[in-house]
Chain A
Amino acid sequence: GENVEQHPSTLSVQEGDSAVIKCTYSDSASNYFPWYKQELGKRPQLIIDIRSNVGEKKDQRIAVTLNKTAKHFSLHITETQPEDSAVYFCAAFDNNDMRFGAGTRLTVKP
């Protein structure tokens, strides 16, 4: 089955700086890669996703890149703001199930 590893587990940046979170996956059949933001006590919220036929996708300050050969994908947040502070999860989906990474706790210091 799929195995997703996520790094770093914690990340602290200054407001306005960029943040990068990286994930690797093991199953080459995985074809869909979403990223979720989860604030304390709340549900995971989809912030961006990418499919295996695309190498990069951007939505305002958020971008995701996918390298299928190396089996890794990354989340990039530019011009970070204190409200970006949360736990971020990557996930990989193949034909059978969705596997999540362990999460990255991002703290943006004002």
Chain B
Amino acid sequence: GQQLNQSPQSMFIQEGEDVSMNCTSSSIFNTWLWYKQEPGEGPVLLIALYKAGELTSNGRLTAQFGITRKDSFLNISASIPSDVGIYFCAGLLVGGAQKLVFGQGTRLTINP
């Protein structure tokens, strides 16, 4: 089946540092989404990307849809304690299937 390889699996950083994580796949996706999950909650949508090459920002978050449509990255600038959580990439496949394929997640821990 389709797989998204997300890296890194975990990150331990100091408050104020920038963060970068990415997802790659052998499959082509129509849409890339980035979600954040905190303990006891469902994934919350951060950014949606619809076109190859698209670069989109949401506050301190920036994400890009790769030109090949097989990868995406998420950057967080000037991290703050509330950025702690698990970040998931997810892709919607070409061909009309509505199922989201999720990456394994990146667990972000921030030292104040």
* A and B: bona fide binding partners: no
Residues of B whose CB lies within 8 Å of any CB of A are none
Q: Which residues of A contact B (CB under 8 A)?
A: none
